[in-house]
Amino acid sequence: MKSQALFDRAKAVIPGGVNSPVRAFGSVGMTPRFIAGAKGDRIRDVEGNEYIDYIGSWGPMILGHAHPAVLEAVAQAARDGLSFGATTEREVEMAELICNIVPSVEMVRMVNSGTEAVMSAIRAARGFTGRDKLVKFAGCYHGHTDAMLVKAGSGVMTQGLPGSSGVPQGCTKDTLTATYNDLGSVEALFEANPNEIAAVIVEPVGANMGVVLPEPGFLEGLRAICDANGALLIFDEVITGFRLQLDGAQGFYGVRPDLTTFGKIIGGGMPVGAYGGRRDIMSMVAPTGPVYQAGTLSGNPVAMAAGLAQLKLLRDTPDLYAKLNRAGDEFFTTLDGILNDAGVPHCLNHVGSLGSVFFTPEKVSNYAGAQTSDTWKYTAYFKHMLDSGVYLAPSQFEAMFLSTAHSAEDLRKTLDAVREFVK
Ligand SMILES: *Cc1c(COP(=O)(O)O)cnc(C)c1O
């Protein structure tokens, strides 16, 4: 088996054989498929097996893989040179496009990943407020910057303990952890740390503990708590940005953050991130202000070309989000029905093209709820689906991503595979 041989070679020279841990298939105890290529909603491994893909590179491929317009834009940009370390017109176009699409973003800075976007946004928030402490939520992932690697699920009132070896306690002592969908847990942190909290950072839809939706009033409540305490509200829209609708979760739920982080879709499959928001906060960033942040490859011309091409398609295709969200509603509702009819204890959370099945009888509205899932059941489900030609995330605690390239026929085939699984 080619994938096995490649994995053995990889493990000798790359930690765990992978460049990002979830790719190792560790939580399902299998050998990862090495991917040779992908087109539309299909992904192909080195053995030549084809799968209907529900990972979509963890979100970026909202138009499906290898979209011709994006590929053409990349090829054209590449011919002009791969990087200059100098300002280009495409960066201006990209910034204008984002500011036009997302009303809360008055100024924006391009970076190379979601991690970098978050790291920079929290630095700007701390610089602007002159405060050090941050509130994050258990189960929300904000990339692997030191300050955000705080043991998820730690007690609400406890000071942050590093969730990774190599992160000094000093880097996380100012990170406070609250419970998703629990405004009381946030209020308690503000009461215990008066005038010390710079910002609350949240995934407006939790999508890194499986999909967990904000309950009505939760995001509005965070806005109100931040306003009452002089803290900033940061939406980490690395997954939800340009996915729920063009202006992301903030448009979908009608709550305006002070700062927003982007990644994934914004690069069309190239390594891109961005952070932006209020003009007065973003003006604190160097060279206008004292908050230092830089990047040799930031705003890379080829990456900008890919992102611009994808964002323009998303903006200019009539009814794109209405159709995608309708397809998602129908797909996830049917999936829910199949599991209901079969009497499989589960909780299906979804919004538009984003969803996940938790194998638990409980309603999942936070990290502790997600943790009640039967991960053995998920592993069996994952294996069955992979054998049936459906490529799901190799972990219970990740989302399923639908794209505009998912055909009605492939969605039907996927549901048929689920019917086989529960038979
Ligand atoms: C993926 C993700 C990140 C990190 O982005 P990278 O590009 O992997 O560094 C940050 N926040 C959220 C919500 C994410 O889903």
**Which pLDDT does position 156 carry in this prediction?**
35
| Ligand 1 and 121: CB distance under 6 A | no
Q: Are residues 87 and 26 in the same domain?
A: no
The HSE-up count of residue 44 (CA atoms within 13 Å, CB side) is 10
**Which pLDDT does position 154 carry in this prediction?**
35
Omega of the bond leading into 287 within 30 degrees of 0 (cis): yes
| Ligand 1 and 27: CB distance under 6 A | no
Number of domains comprising the chain = 2
Q: What's CA 393's distance to the chain center, in Å?
A: 13
Q: Are residues 121 and 32 in the same domain?
A: no
Q: Are residues 168 and 277 in the same domain?
A: yes
**Which pLDDT does position 159 carry in this prediction?**
54
Q: Are residues 220 and 98 in the same domain?
A: yes
Q: Are residues 118 and 217 in the same domain?
A: yes
**Which pLDDT does position 153 carry in this prediction?**
41
Q: What's CA 55's distance to the chain center, in Å?
A: 11
**Which pLDDT does position 230 carry in this prediction?**
98
Decide if 236 is catalytic. yes
Tens digit of pLDDT at every position of the chain (423 positions): 799 999 999 999 999 999 999 999 988 999 999 999 999 999 999 999 999 999 999 999 999 999 999 999 999 999 999 999 999 999 999 999 999 999 999 999 999 999 999 999 999 999 999 999 999 999 999 999 999 998 644 333 445 677 888 989 899 999 999 999 999 999 999 999 999 999 999 999 999 999 999 999 999 999 999 999 999 999 999 999 999 999 999 999 999 999 999 999 999 999 999 999 999 999 999 999 999 999 999 999 999 999 999 999 999 999 999 999 999 999 999 999 999 999 999 999 999 999 999 999 999 999 999 999 999 999 999 999 999 999 999 999 999 999 999 999 999 999 999 999 999
Q: How far is the CA of 113 from the centre of ligand 1 (A)?
A: 7
Q: Which of 282, 316, 350 is the last residue of a domain?
A: 316
Q: How far is the CA of 422 from the centre of ligand 1 (A)?
A: 33
Q: Are residues 140 and 242 in the same domain?
A: yes
Report the nearest atom of ligand 1 relative to the CA of 236: 13
pTM confidence score: 0.97
Q: Are residues 229 and 289 in the same domain?
A: yes
Task: Give the residue, by CA position, lying nearest to ligand 1 atom 5.
Answer: 114
Q: How far is the CA of 319 from the centre of ligand 1 (A)?
A: 27
Q: Are residues 229 and 93 in the same domain?
A: yes
Decide if 141 is catalytic. yes
| Ligand 1 and 122: CB distance under 6 A | no
Q: How far is the CA of 359 from the centre of ligand 1 (A)?
A: 25
Q: Are residues 273 and 175 in the same domain?
A: yes
- Cβ partners under 8 Å of residue 302, min gap 6: 74, 77, 78, 82, 83, 270
Mutating to test ligand 1, I would choose from 55, 62, 142, 400 the residue with most ligand atoms within 8 A of its C-beta, which is 142
| Ligand 1 and 136: CB distance under 6 A | no
**Which pLDDT does position 151 carry in this prediction?**
63
Q: Which of 297, 316, 335 is the last residue of a domain?
A: 316
Rounded distance, CA 376 to CA 368, Å?
17
| Ligand 1 and 141: CB distance under 6 A | yes
**Which pLDDT does position 158 carry in this prediction?**
46
Rounded distance, CA 357 to CA 422, Å?
13
Q: Are residues 58 and 74 in the same domain?
A: no
Q: How far is the CA of 147 from the centre of ligand 1 (A)?
A: 14
CATH number at residue 46: 3.90.1150.10
What are the backbone angles phi and psi of residue 122, rounded to the nearest 5°? -70, -30
Q: Are residues 221 and 77 in the same domain?
A: yes
Domain that holds residue 164: 68-316
**Which pLDDT does position 164 carry in this prediction?**
85
List the catalytic residue out of 236, 247, 258, 410. Answer: 236
Q: Which of 254, 285, 316 is the last residue of a domain?
A: 316
Q: Are residues 309 and 361 in the same domain?
A: no
CATH number at residue 244: 3.40.640.10
